[in-house]
Structure 1
């Protein structure tokens, strides 16, 4: 009987095919995933998994949910939200460049995202503003309502890269989400404010907030007369004019007597 010889080329081909299959199985998990779509921000937040700095990733849990409303942070020596310092520290520590450490946080089941900075919290008002700070979804940490409530709201702001470099204007953010410039240090300290509680926001966020134009005196004695503040002066608004302007209660903000007195008086608004 004749012996059947097998060509060694066939062995080479078979081994090459097996090698390609093994290599394909190895590389498949490393294929890049699809890029995040900024348009569905809340959905992306809900579906994302956060890897806490220094804590590793938990692939079995959905650690991160939604996004927001720089900054933001609280005041004083409040404890860190997370057991490790660094990028996501909740304290008022600073990095080597002297900049405050910022945490980006979100409460599970809610859409608001906050910056925790200098011990104060500040809600980022829109998705566009979130991305304007070069933040990304992987930076967002999950916290509880109780942890977030440890931090008071940020109320004092300056604008990054503003033209006034030596003594930038300080703005107060009202409960209604309006900004009002603080005239001077006398007014600033009359409210018990501290310079270390001032937070810098960028121009895009600054442009988002409407300006506070209408005030009344609340302290030390309530005066229900309404004034418009514009161009650094105050103007009394008669009841007839108030009715014509159709002002909403949220647009009229209380101030103390010290601040009120610092505005020179202009012509009244009669009609």
Structure 2
């Protein structure tokens, strides 16, 4: 048993969390480079919370250049036990209209220009991604979203594209045939890295548009997205407040807390000491 420390990664339109007590700004150095921005920590509803704007304040960083390894490492170094992602997405389904909050439970990763693992040459590990989202955390996020007044859909597959351009119509139709429900540019490799860092992860995908597959709706434009973002941001902040309130009790262990047990396959005698040092925060528990 222990205390919850909630990490919140804010996507487009969400660059701060109001209402934090004992608010402080933390500049974190990681062996993977700089995080997207300084982290803000404090307490909300009696729960410790650490907030990181994924694109940086002022939205400075495009999807492909987000240093997801540094972001996840920084959250781990700040003591986070669980991480919730709040992201703007396009809809690939008629019933997921703009304004819906989809509690994602699966991903299809189509990104190709990003570092996707903390491990590598000199220290090899393989973690399971069969269930990439923590069911407990996702359920808490869904209840918090309802309490915040959101229209919630539980379950859905998130197609992570490279970007920064939006899809072609052919791509959008292909992803629909694959069974994907929403499309975005940021939750991968973030979810994979959170799993490698033994951080339970949940994704709240906030729908802003219909991508470009619908003939009767104008194709996605940044201006339209921004209009929906402002409304979604207020609801997302209320969601975080309700989520913190739901975490007021003690935290019981999650299976993700120990997912690196048996995952590292490189013999200790053959591990690269430099890489092992870089892994001190995300995998220190099993590399001691």
Q: Same-fold call, TM > 0.5? A: no
TM-score, normalising length: structure 1: 0.25
Relative contact order (C-alpha < 8 Å, sep 6+): which is higher? 2
TM-score, normalising length: structure 2: 0.24
